[in-house]
Amino acid sequence: MADNKNTQAADVNEQIKIRMDKLKALQDAGKDPFQITKYDVTHHTDEIRAIYEAHEKELLGDRPAVNTEGLDEQQAREAVNADYNERRAIMDASPIEVSFAGRMMFKRVMGKASFCNIADLKGKMQAYISKDAIGEEAYADFKKSDIGDIFGVKGFIFRTKTGEISVHVEELTLLSKSLQVLPEKFHGITDTDMRYRQRYVDLIMNPEVKDTFVKRSKIIKEIRNFLDGRNFMEVETPTLVSNAGGAAARPFETHYNALNEDVKLRISLELYLKRLIVGGLERVYEIGRVYRNEGVDTRHNPEFTLMELYQAYTDYEGMMELTESMFRHLAQTVCGTTKITYNGTEIDLGKPFRRLTMNDAIKEYAGVDFDTIKTDEEAKALAKERGIEFEERHTKGDIINLFFEEYCEENLIQPTFIMDHPLAISPLTKKKPSDPEKVERFELFINTWEMCNAYSELNDPIDQRERFAQQDKNAENGDEEAQHTDEDFLNALAVGMPPTGGIGYGIDRLVMLLTDSPAIRDVLLFPTMKSIGGVKSENGVSSKTSEEVKAEQEKIDFSNVKIEPLFEEEVDFDTFSKSDFRAVKVKECVAVPKSKKLLQFTLDDGTGTDRTILSGIHAFYEPEELVGKTLIAITNLPPRKMMGIESCGMLLSAVNNLKDSEDEELHLLMVDNHIPAGAKLY
C-alpha cells in the first residue's frame, strides 16, 4: 500500500513537470496565457441553455418527434438522422453567438474534432471543437491542454444528436494554465480535512459545495432585505476592544504597537449597538465576525458570523414576532418552502412557533418543578441526586440552566421559544416585573440547537452596575467567561436608553439548518484548522517533491522528557487477556459543554453500533483534528457517567512529564488508517 502511495505521488510530480514544460513552450511561442488581462463574457452556462431552449421553441414550435414505428433499425436510424439534420438546418440559419469562460473539467479528443466540458459559476457546458473551425495551430494547442486549464470560448449554440445543448467553438483562448493536478474524484474522498484546508479545490470538484455557499450569500442578502423592510439601519462597530463584553466567552488577546496597549477581539456586538440606541438611532443591526477563544466542533468555530439587532420601544415579545417572521421569510425565499428537511427530519417553519418557559420545559422533560425550589442548597441537592455536575459557586439559576441543557435541549426539534431564564445567567437582561428571579429573555431552539438569544434589554444603569459587580466576583472565583464592568457602557446607560428589544443570531448555524449541512465547517469557506508543520504550510501544501519529503527524517529531542518508572508488580496473563483492546475510528468528536477537559468521541468499533467514549484530553487536542483518526480503546470496561454522559470504554494515550517541571505531555495512540474498525490487538 505504501508503494502505491509513493508511485501515485511520483506520477503527480511527473505530471506537474509536464505541465510546466507545456507552459514554457507556450511562453516561448509568444502565447503566455498569464499575459491576458481580461475576457469578454456575454453569458453564463445556465443562460446559454435557457436562451437556446427559448430559441428552439420559437423556431421549431410544436414540431413533433420523428415517428419510427414500423421501420427497421436502419430505416429508423436514417429517419432520425434526417429529422436531426432538418432541425439543425433551421436552427443554424439563425445562430445565437455566445462568449463564455470557465475551467475545463473533461476532454475527449477524436482526430479532427473534440469535445470538452467547461465549468463556470452556474454549471457546465459542453464545447465542440473542430480543426476546421478554429484552425490547425489552435487545435494542436488545444490537444496539448490539461484538465483544470481555464478557457475563453466563442461560438454558436447547437444541440447534438444525443440531445445535449452545446457550443460549436469558433474561437478558443487559453486564459490560465493549471500547473497543479486536480483530484480525479474529490467528491467521495475520505480526507475531509483536506477539503476544508484547500476549499478552492473543493469548490472546483464539488458543485454542491459551491451551491451551499451561493445559498449562504442569498440568506445574508435576504436577512438584509427583511430588516430593510422594517426600517433597520446597518452599522459597523469596532472589532478590537479594550473590554470584550456582551457574552459569556473567553476572548482572544492582541497588542496595539502604536498605542502600546493590550486589546481583545470582540466576542459579541451588543454593547456598541446599545450605545447607538442611546444615541437615538432606534433600529440598528450589524452582521459581523466575532471571535471566541474556545473549542472547535461540528457546531462551533472560534471565528464566526453573528448578527445582532436592537429596536427601541419594544420588548422580547416584539423580538419573538420579528424572529418568527424572519425565519419564515428566509425559508420561503431561499428554500422555496417553509417545510425544510435537516438530516432526514422535517422541520415546519410555517406553523406558529411553540412558546415554553425554561421552568415549564424542565417540568415537562425532567419532571422537576423549579418554581417550588427556593434555595441554592435545595437546587444543588437535586443536582447531586440526578448526577448533574456543578461548581461550588453555582446558584439555583445556574442549576436550572444545567437541568435544561441535560434534559430539554435534545427534545426541541420543531421551532420552540424557551422563555424567562434565571437572572443568574442573564446579566444584561430586564427582570420580569412579576418574578424578579427571572428575566425577559428567550432562546429559539430548532433541531436541538440554540438559533438565537433575545432580551428585553436592561436599561437601568444602577441595576446594570450591580450585575457587572457580580460578574467581576465570578471572574475572581475562576469563571474565565465572566463579563467585566464596562464604565463607558454604564455612562451611556446613565445618559438614558429607551426600553429596547435585542437579539443575536448565529448566522453559520442558520446556514447549516437551511442548507442541510452536517457541520459548521461545511458552511464556512475557510474554517479554523490546526496548522500542519507551521504557518507556511498550514494547508498541507509543500513546494518540495515527494522524494524530498520522504528523504527528510524528523529529529525529535527526548532529552527533556521524564518517564514514570515501570511497575514492579506483575500481572498474570489470564488477567491481562481479559482486557479487550480494539482499533476504533473517530466518526465525530466534540467538546463536552460546561467542561474544560472532556472531549466526547463517537466511535466506529466494528460492531455497527456507535460507541461513545469521553476522554479528558481537551488541553492537548482540539476535536476537529481527531475526526477520521484510528485510535486504540479498551472496549469492555463498565460504563461510567461523566457530566451526565455515559462513557463506554477508555482511549489509550502515552503520557510523560518534562524534567524539572510538573508539565505533562500526552499523545493519543493513533495507528495506521488501513487498520479496520474493530480489529483486535494482541
From residue 537, how far is each of 81, 205, 533 by CA, in Å? 57, 22, 6
- C-alpha cell belonging to residue 231: 426600517
Q: Is 196 exposed, middle or buried (0-12, 13-18, 19+ CB in 10 A)?
A: buried
450 is in an annotated binding site: yes
Q: Is 589 helix (H, G, I), strand (E, B) or coil?
A: strand
Residue 367 and residue 486: Cα distance in Å, rounded? 40
Write b or e for each residue in 96-115: b if 16 or more Cβ atoms lie within 10 A of its Cβ, otherwise e. bebbbbbbbeebeeeeeebb
Contacts of 452 (CB under 8 A, 6+ apart): 323, 443, 444, 503, 504, 505, 506
Q: HEC string of 543-568? A: CCCHHHHHHCCCCCCCCCEECCCCCC
User: Which helix (H) or strand (E) element contains residue 400?
Assistant: helix 396-407
Q: How far apart are CA 17 and CA 20, in angstroms?
A: 5
Which residues face 342 on adjacent strands? 345
Instruction: Measure the CA–CA gap between 22 and 90, rounded to whole angstroms.
Output: 41
Relative to beta strand 653-658, strand 664-668 is: antiparallel
C-beta separation of 355 from 236 below 8 A: no
Distance CA 536, CA 285 (A): 37
C-alpha to C-alpha distances, 244 to 211, 236, 247, 459, nearest whole angstrom: 35, 16, 8, 19
- Residue 225, classed as helix, strand or coil, is helix
Annotated binding residues for Mg(2+): 443, 450
The annotated binding site is made up of 443, 450
